[in-house]
């Protein structure tokens, strides 16, 4: 890896870690999720980075892909289990970090299980290790705590301007796996639950990603597509990031047309199959000659 790229990965990781600590301090009963999202994303930019994806604020049985809309009035409640998932990029070089917290309470056993699984995975990362070995370590750790790993959520390789660079890092034991090599940058993200150990799609999507230009009927659809292509490229964007381009009803119609046409990809909100609580822990690591460096540590 070239030194310039390495430095930017490290810089993005430092920003992500700082913003995470500040963001967690803002999680309190009565606070709107939208306020937290706007705070986190403004802090990323204030520190010299850009959001690599809309901040995910997933509560209780919601595991991923929830980012408040511009009209979201949802507020944190006491004892909510909150997953804060933050992505930062510097010139396209990405850091991805997530932590879980109980609103107004202490760290519970489910959170500890996800954090210990993450630490165990990081300890074994080095060139030549297979992703299947990482998955086995995550699964073993979470099950030892009496919980289930979420088997259909995975970590992933990070590339420049790419959140999913062709390699997945499972959270369960698998028969086959990719081999880690020096210079790989990967996000490791164990999810632990008391439920079925699987997530399913909700109907709603509020995070999207540009895919391709397509012929479109609505004027608003064409304006949104041009805007996201120019400003976000292939990185995900939130509904609220384009809310200024159309009135609420027309905006939602346009986003549906864009998704249906294949112009954008819709990330459905993911919930635990049995609606059981989910905890998440995540760091970004850079594989080195003799181990790894945690860029978000």
| Residues taking part in catalysis | 85, 96, 156, 164, 189, 282
* Three-point CA angle 140, 144, 147, nearest 5°: 95
What whole-number distance in Å separates Cα of residue 135 and Cα of residue 285?
A: 15
Q: Using alpha carbons, list the distances in angstroms from residue 113 to 74, 132, 150, 281.
A: 28, 19, 12, 9
Helix axes 33-46 and 3-25, enclosed angle (nearest 10):
150
Q: Using alpha carbons, list the distances in angstroms from residue 72 to 35, 98, 100, 153.
A: 10, 22, 21, 26
The shares of helix, strand and coil residues in the chain, as percent rounded to the nearest 5, are 35, 30, 35
Instruction: Single out the residue of 20, 89, 43, 34 nearest to residue 233, CA to CA.
Output: 89
The strand ranges marked E within 62-139 are 62-64, 81-90, 93-102
HSE, CB side, 13 Å, CA atoms: give it for residue 110: 24
Pull the structure tokens for residue 199.
């997530």
Element (H, E) at 115: helix 109-124
CB 217 within 8 A of CB 253: no
């Amino acid at each position: 890896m070239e030194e310039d790229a390495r430095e930017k990965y490290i810089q993005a990781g430092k920003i992500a870690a700082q913003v995470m600590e500040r963001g967690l301090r803002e999680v309190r009963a009565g606070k709107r999720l939208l306020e937290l999202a706007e705070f986190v994303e403004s802090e990323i930019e204030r520190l010299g980075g850009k959001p690599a994806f809309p901040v995910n604020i997933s509560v209780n049985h919601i595991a991923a892909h929830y980012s408040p809309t511009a009209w979201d009035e949802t507020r944190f409640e006491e004892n909510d289990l909150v997953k804060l998932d933050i992505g930062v990029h510097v010139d396209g070089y990405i850091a991805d970090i997530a932590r879980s917290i109980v609103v107004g309470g202490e760290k519970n056993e489910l959170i500890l299980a996800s954090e210990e699984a993450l630490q165990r995975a990081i300890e074994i990362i080095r060139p030549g290790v297979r992703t299947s070995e990482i998955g086995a370590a995550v699964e073993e750790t979470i099950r030892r705590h009496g919980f289930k790993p979420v088997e259909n959520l995975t970590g992933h390789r990070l590339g420049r301007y790419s959140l999913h660079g062709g390699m997945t890092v499972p959270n369960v034991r698998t028969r086959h796996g990719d081999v880690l090599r020096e210079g790989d940058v990967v996000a490791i993200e164990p999810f632990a639950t008391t439920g079925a150990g699987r997530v399913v799609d909700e109907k709603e999507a509020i995070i999207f990603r540009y895919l391709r230009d397509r012929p479109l009927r609505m004027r608003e659809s064409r304006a949104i597509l041009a805007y996201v292509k120019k400003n976000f490229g292939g990185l995900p964007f939130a509904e609220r990031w384009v809310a200024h381009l159309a009135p609420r009803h027309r905006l939602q119609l346009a986003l549906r047309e864009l998704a249906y046409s294949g112009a954008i990809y819709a990330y459905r909100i993911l919930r635990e199959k049995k609606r059981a609580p989910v905890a998440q822990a995540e760091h970004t690591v850079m594989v080195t000659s003799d181990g790894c460096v945690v860029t978000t540590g």
